[in-house]
Amino acid sequence: MEKVRLQKVIASRSAFSRRKAEDLIVSGKVRVNGQVVVKLGTRVDPKNDQVELEQQALEVQKKVYYLFYKPRGVVSTLYDPQKRKTLREFVGHISERLFPVGRLDYLSEGLMLLTNDGELAQRLAHPSGLVKKTYHVSVAEDITLLHIKKLRQGGMVEGQWVKPVSVARILKEDALWLEFILREGRKHEIRTLCEQVGLQVTQLVRVAIGAFMLENLRPGELKAVDREFVLSLFNSLLNWQGSGERPLG
């Protein structure tokens, strides 16, 4: 079997990016066939070589994908030092080690993609903004056309100027909501932009990640998604965007 770079093997079998995998290698936390490896660029045989991270074997797992409705008041990680409710309470029964693609704020809710496919997760979460994300937002105030105009112009978030792909008013549950479409969502971006134009967010729901839709999922519910479906959607997006990135397979 053709040998591949060690950091790629680590990324494909864990939640770590290739860059983080390189840091782990250099810091002496990776062993191949029982020997510590610190040299970047080392190639291994994924089928026959035994790779360990911090003395734990990194085994090849079947790639699995789930759509998940993260409820409000849940941390979008598997561990929280403040002892708040985490994703682990919803995925603990699944044998594969899942991790989230991207995050949602503690007070936000809606669609997340959970997987053990490290390469896909890193590609989808990359800050290049390849994948658009759609949010529905309820606010305490009446939404005017002036609000929409100002929101479309963008604003400063975390020291950088950000601008949504689009902002619109929509009718939902017999009330007017805002619909935001973002490429690169910064922390509290929507809440900050709304606050800057005098709007207080009362509910924020992510309803889509690219072509993945929240649809009829209920808070706390998981839905398994076929690997071929996931890859076909991602690769068709690459072709449509003309990004030049290597397709996944």
What are the residue ranges spanned by the domains of the chain?
4-57, 65-128+213-241, 133-209
**Mean pLDDT value of segment 172-184:** 92
CATH class as words, domain 133-209: alpha beta
pLDDT for 12: 77
What CATH number has the domain spanning 65-128+213-241?
3.30.70.580
pLDDT for 28: 94
Q: Is residue 120 over pLDDT 90?
A: no
The more confident residue out of 17 and 41 is 41
User: Could you give the residue numbers annotated as active site?
Assistant: 105
- DSSP H helix total and E strand total for the chain: 7, 17
pLDDT for 241: 45
Q: Do the domains spanning 4-57 and 133-209 agree at the CATH topology level? A: no
pLDDT for 152: 98
Q: Is residue 107 over pLDDT 60?
A: yes
- Least confident range from 64-73, 106-115, 213-222, 240-249: namely 240-249
Tokens (6 digits) for 138: 């309820």
Q: Is residue 176 over pLDDT 90?
A: yes
User: What pTM was estimated for this model as a whole?
Assistant: 0.78
pLDDT for 243: 43
Q: Is residue 61 over pLDDT 80?
A: no
Q: Is residue 198 over pLDDT 90?
A: yes
pLDDT for 240: 44
Res. 78 pLDDT band, cuts 50 70 90: confident
Q: Is residue 128 over pLDDT 80?
A: no
pLDDT for 237: 57
**Mean pLDDT value of segment 41-54:** 91
- Least confident range from 93-102, 179-188, 206-215: namely 93-102
pLDDT for 169: 97
Q: Is residue 7 over pLDDT 70?
A: yes
Tokens (6 digits) for 75: 């941390």
Q: Is residue 244 over pLDDT 70?
A: no
Considering the chain, what is the average pLDDT of its residues?
A: 87
For the ranges 9-23, 39-53, 113-127, 186-200, the maximum mean pLDDT occurs at 186-200
* Percent of the chain whose predicted confidence (pLDDT) is above 70: 90
Q: Please state which of the four CATH numbers 3.90.180.10, 3.40.50.300, 3.10.290.10, 3.40.50.720 is assigned to the domain occupying 4-57.
A: 3.10.290.10
* Percent of the chain whose predicted confidence (pLDDT) is above 90: 59
pLDDT for 160: 93
3-class SS letters over 9-68:
HHHHCCCCCHHHHHHHHHCCCEEECCEECCCCCCEECCCCCCEEECCEECCCCCCCEEEE
CB burial class (10 A; 0-12, 13-18, 19+) of residue 133? buried
Question: Per-residue DSSP letters for 116-133?
Answer: S-HHHHHHHT-TT--S-E
